[in-house]
Structure 1
Amino acid sequence: MTKRALVVRGGWAGHDPVATTDRYAKFLSEKDFAVTTSSTLDAYLDDLTGIDLIVQCWTMGTITSPQLDGLLAAVRAGTGFAGWHGGIVDAFRDQPGYHLLTGGQFIHHHKDFVSYVVHPVGGHEVVADIEAFEVHSEQYYLHADPGNEVLAATEYQPDPDRREIGTPEMPVTWVRRHGLGRVFVTTIGHRMADLELPPVHEMITRGLLWATR
């Protein structure tokens, strides 16, 4: 039976929401998903009962209470929710109900790109057999829900502008449940080159499939 995916994209253009989501819409189509894209959050006002996966890339921006209620209700009922970087964990900064869905919220990154090593942890299918790898890009410092199942982590690199942060272990990729729905998040993905790294692409494609109803 064909699965249905909804891609919701917009917000700050610096994360290239159209090109990056096109990359994974193509992947899902090749996996026999029927994919619909929307450039408005009003998509969350529609009847989402037949949607098996929502992929969101919407950095910052604002969401209305009815729009958020529609998204939360869909995921609670079993629709999967997935995304990467600011498109999922730097969206709707004034909405704690949304942060309870994603399990994390972006707080800070270094002024310039840094190199950091990502260490997959545990045997979850999303990261199984993926070895540690290096990323040179934005590294997110975030506030994260202790209930997340962390699948990959990194040591936050020293930041001379924020010495008080130190070098804590920071989650990079995690999964969680919201009602009947599955949620997949990775903080990698500031630019297309990040998504094209083979281990990152593998994590995201596996994460999309895992999150699907």
Structure 2
Amino acid sequence: MSERTALIVRGGWEGHAPVEATELFLPFLKDNGYSVRVEESPEVYADAEAMARTDLVVQSVTMAQIEGPQVEGLRNAVVAGTGLVGWHGGIADSYRASSDYLQLIGGQFATHPAKEPELRVGGQEDNYLRHTIEITDLGREHPVTGGIADFELDTEQYWVLHDDLIDILATTTHPVRPWHPWHRPITSPAVWTRQWGAGRILVATPGHSVDILQHNSVRTIIERGILWATRTASA
């Protein structure tokens, strides 16, 4: 197996445990022949030589800031064939002030609805709702999600704003509840891919905490996504 290069970029809000979350996938990367570099900020994206040698970026950076040359470097690398994979806020809620980043990803976290007011206690658990991740028809045939059945999670349920250039492999539906202001169910993408130039992008919105990343279906999707998004010989 020829060695491939993976770059892990992590940081931002500590509530998403970026170090522990990315460490979870290090054994998988190494077992599959990747040489892994870990960076604690997006500064590396501005290093054109380093990015040209990178076959895959695994990003876990929630919120934070990205400079113009950094987002330009990431975009250029993906166009040239570097794959990009991430989960939850580490990719769908990164660099909120950068429209160029948001266009690259194709979807942006908007909110995660909360429990009924009388059940809230002031912690992150206030936003944990039982919900279903439903595999789409496309997802049932896709190498990332094929063979995975619909599954339930008790965690944050992302409401995502998105464009129509994404290929949606799984969705989740926010129901109408008396304490919320919307008037009909809203379906959001939960797992999607995006082709950008020669590069492939995989976004999975589940992954708020390490235990969710350890869920068999979530972990399988991310691990398959790593292999699927990695630069191919033709890229």
> Which bracket does the TM-score occupy, shorter chain normalised?
over 0.9
Deviations along 1:177-208, whole A, 9 cap, x unmatched? 11110000010000011111111111110011
Report the Cα distance in structure 2 between the residues aligned to 1:139 and 1:57, rounded to whole angstroms: 18
Question: C-alpha separation between the residues in 1 aligned to 2:104 and 2:37?
Answer: 22
SS in 1 for 2:206: coil
| SS of residue in 2 equivalent to 1:87 | helix
The 8 Å contact of residues 7 and 25 in structure 1, kept in 2 or not, is answered as no
1:18-62 deviation digits (Å, cap 9, x = unpaired) = 000011122111111001100021111222111000000000011
Which residue number corresponds to residue 65 of structure 2?
Answer: 62
Whole-angstrom distance in 2 between the partners of 1:15 and 1:165: 31
Deviation at 1:137, TM superposition (A): 0.2
Residues 128-151 of structure 1, C-alpha deviation per residue, up to 9 Å, x if partnerless? 110010011000111011111100
Identity of aligned residues (%): 38
CA gap of 1:162–1:120, structure 2 versus 1, over 3 A, is same
- Offset of 1:164 from its aligned partner? 2.1
For residues 76-119 of structure 1, the C-alpha deviation after alignment (integer angstroms, 9 at most, x for no partner) is 11000010000001011111111111110001112321011111
Instruction: Say yes or no: does 1:201 pair with 2:215.
Output: no
- 1:82-161 matches, within 5 Å, as 82-111=85-114, 112-121=127-136, 122=138, 123-158=141-176, 160-161=178-179
Please tell me whether the aligned partners of residues 103 and 144 of structure 1 are also in contact (alpha carbons under 8 angstroms).
yes
Secondary structure at the aligned position of 1:28 is classed as helix
1:33 matched to 2:51? The reply is no
Gapped runs of 5+ residues in structure 1?
Answer: none
Question: When the two structures are superposed, what TM-score results if normalisation uses the length of structure 1?
Answer: 0.96
For residues 37 and 193 of structure 1, do their structure 2 counterparts lie closer, same or farther at Cα, with a shift above 3 Å needed? same
- Supply the distance in 1 between the matched residues of 2:43 and 2:179 (Cα, whole angstroms): 39
Taking the aligned partners of 2:6 and 2:206, their CA distance within structure 1 comes to: 22
Equivalent pair of 1:116/1:157 in contact (CA under 8 Å):
no
Structure label with greater radius of gyration: 2
State the alpha-carbon separation in 2 of the partners of residues 4 and 200 from structure 1. Answer: 23
Alignment of structure 1 residues 11-26 onto 2, 5 Å: 11-26=12-27
Aligned length: 213
Deviation of 1:166 after TM superposition, in Å, equals 3.6
- CA separation in 2, counterparts of 1:165 and 1:190? 27
Give distance in 1, aligned partners of 2:104 and 2:81.
13
- Superposed displacement of residue 159, structure 1: 5.1
Which of structure 1's runs of 4+ aligned residues deviate more than 6 A? none
Structure 1 pair 181–134 and aligned structure 2 pair: CA distance change class (3 A): same
